[in-house]
Every structure is written in C-alpha cells, then in structure tokens.
Structure 1
C-alpha cells in the first residue's frame, strides 16, 4: 500500500477534530487531577484516622487498577445504578481520578519539604489552619512541584487513546473510524503517531522550561 496524499487531505478534518477532543480531555483531566490530588494529599494528613486511612485505601485502589478498567466501570457499569454520563465527561472523570492519585504523592512530597519552621511560625502568628495552608504552606509547596505535575499531565495526554474504548471521538477513535470506513490504515494511524509526537515534543519543551523556572526553587 502506497502513501496517498489525496486521502490524507480528505481525512485531515476528521483527525483535526479528534486532536481538539484529545487536547480538551487532557486539559480538563489535568485540572481535575490537580484538584483531586490536592484533596487527597490534604485528606491523608487529616488527624482523623478514619478519614486518612479511607482516603489512603481509595488512592491505593485506584493506583493499583488499570485506567482502562476504571473507564469501563464509569461509563458502562455506573449506568446500571442510574449514573449515566456522556462519553467525554466519563473520560475526563476517569483520567482525573486516576492521575489525581499520582499527583497526590507529588503534593505530599512538596508539603513535606516545607521547613518545619514555617509551620511553627504560622502557629506563633496565631494563624488558623486554613490560613496556614492557604497563605504559608501551599504557596511554598506548589512551585517546586510544577515540573513533576507537568510530567504526569504529559503522561495523561499519551493515555487519551484509551478513551476510544468508551466511544469518545478523540484522535485515536477518529482514526479507527476512518481506517475501518476506507480500509486504509497506513495514513490515519501514521498521522495519529505524528500528531501525538508533535504535541508531546511541544509539551516536553514546556516541561524543560518549567524545570528551569521552578525545579530548583527553594521551598
């Protein structure tokens, strides 16, 4: 089978639409993962053992099961109990929860790296727990974490082809539809690889900049 540029021009609009959905799922999933990760990290530091242990068990369970299984559960099993989600929403939730458990460990490490003296200074200034977290701890903990968080978000982007399993019309699913419609796999699958490579390279450049900007900051 020879490469057909006319066919490439014909299928490119569908693939571009797939790229848009892929990027959208990655961005929304990253935002959710950042929020979920921070919530898990804070909950695991709770003085209440029931809360910290329950959240810890939940995080270990999510990390210990494949993302694809979790996507199937959210999209195909939850409707059995009355929770019906659109494919993209289910995909974003799956990505966000899965990677949120990994970003939680990044947050935990960043929080643990804040010098003990900062906690003591906040206590000496009679700051409340909320003020200590929002004005002292988190502003110092987050900047050094940014490169590691960005690394996980790049990994999430590379996992988005799994969303095709729950009918999200992202890049891989669009390519499969095109390939199965025209019985030509060379061009669509090759273009999928090219799109992912190009976007990943851009993300890597951004990651290197983040490492230079934040990676060596003192907490």
Structure 2
C-alpha cells in the first residue's frame, strides 16, 4: 500500500507532540529575531559610530548558512565556555540569524519616514528617545509588518534544520518513525501538511496584526 490510513492515524499523536516543539522554536526564535533586529536598527540610528560594526555583523550572519551557525553554537560554543542544550542552541541560532534580516527590514522602515519628521522633532526640541518612540517608530513599523510576517513563515520552514543537532521537532520525529517502520510516505506527508497548516495560520495572524496596526495608525 502506498498510503495506510491506520498507520497515519497511529503516528499522528507523535507528530502532533513534535509540532509543539516546532512551534516553540519558531515563536521563541521569531520573538528574539524581531526584538534583536529592532535593537540593532535603532542602535544604527541612535549611535552613528555603531553603524559600521553592526553592518559588518549583519552581513556576516546573512552571508553564512543557518546550518553552520547552528553547528557553531552547539558544537563550537563549548570550546569557549558556552554550553547549550540542543533546543536552546537551535532557537538562539534561528533568532540571531533572522535578527540580521529583520534589522534590515526595520532599517528600511526608518528610512521610509520623511526626513522632515526628524527635523520637526529637532525644531521642537524633543529628545532623541521621544523622537524615536513617539514619532518615528509609529510611522516606521506598520509598513514593515508584512515583510516581518514573511520571515516568520520562512522561520517555520527552517526548523527542520534543528534535526541536525537532534532536536525532536517534526522532521526529526518523522525520520525516526520512518527508520523504525520503514514507511516514510505517511510521516513525511503529514509533516508537510503540518507545516502548511502552521504557515497558513501564521500568515493569517500577520494579516490580522497588520490590519490592527494600520487601523490604529490611521486613527
């Protein structure tokens, strides 16, 4: 049989449990990426002297494969006294990798704000902090939400790389089931359906957030 429904339903609970791990890695990784990316983008504006070092770090991270960064944190980190479990190392690698991309998205959002807004804030003698938090950020963030949402969906699809360091996420669990039963059609197909469902839900949530932010901004 090419497809065995009884076997598919039998392995579904194991895959569902692994999906929880995938969701945890994605949510935590994206939270780190979105927050760290914003910090990097703000630092480049608030501290002009940091622009060059941050640009070098961002390009270094974006120009190297995520899998290498995962291996580096998990296998090389202990040589420098940084010992992390597989889940923590994988989540950190995802977050740091996508923080580099998110920082560029935020930077584009900042640059889209008319220069006159900065000049008006200076003319009103507003502090740098007030200018960023109350004037620039509310205008810079809404346009970049769709791009951030794209990275959330992309991050979901990168989590199978965590199987390289034995994190029991969806793909690793499917491979284990396949090696135990010599049936790969059902587990791999179900993994694809899980990722499709999670990506669609993520995209819908991003659109909802985008509408709420845009509605609030218009008011």
User: Would you call these one fold, judging by a TM-score over 0.5?
Assistant: yes
- 1:37 corresponds to: 37
* Alignment of 1:111 onto 2:110: yes
Taking structure 1 as the reference length, the TM-score comes to 0.91
Contact 1:147-1:215 at 8 Å conserved across structures: no
Structure 1 runs not aligned, ≥5 long: none
| TM superposition shift of 1:34 | 0.5
Q: Distance in 1 between matches of 2:53 and 2:108?
A: 20
Q: Distance in 2 between matches of 1:130 and 1:203?
A: 32
- 2:17 corresponds to: 17
Contact 1:144-1:214 at 8 Å conserved across structures: no
- 2:194 corresponds to: 195
CA-to-partner distance for each residue in 1:70-89, whole Å, 9 max, x for gaps?
00001111012221111111
Structure 1 consecutive aligned stretches of length 4 or more whose deviation exceeds 6 Å: 215-218
| TM superposition shift of 1:44 | 2.5
| TM superposition shift of 1:46 | 4.7
More displaced stretch, 35-44 vs 76-85: 35-44
Contact 1:146-1:215 at 8 Å conserved across structures: no
* Pair 1:119–1:206, CA change in 2 (3 A): same
Contact 1:147-1:210 at 8 Å conserved across structures: no
- 2:145 corresponds to: 146
| TM superposition shift of 1:210 | 5.3
- 1:61 corresponds to: 60
Contact 2:30-2:95 at 8 Å conserved across structures: yes
- CA RMSD in angstroms comes to 2.0
Residues paired across the two proteins, number = 217
Q: Distance in 1 between matches of 2:61 and 2:53?
A: 12
| TM superposition shift of 1:110 | 0.6
- 1:86 corresponds to: 85
* Alignment of 1:3 onto 2:3: yes
TM alignment of 1:180-191, pairs within 5 A = 180-191=179-190
Q: Distance in 1 between matches of 2:210 and 2:127?
A: 33
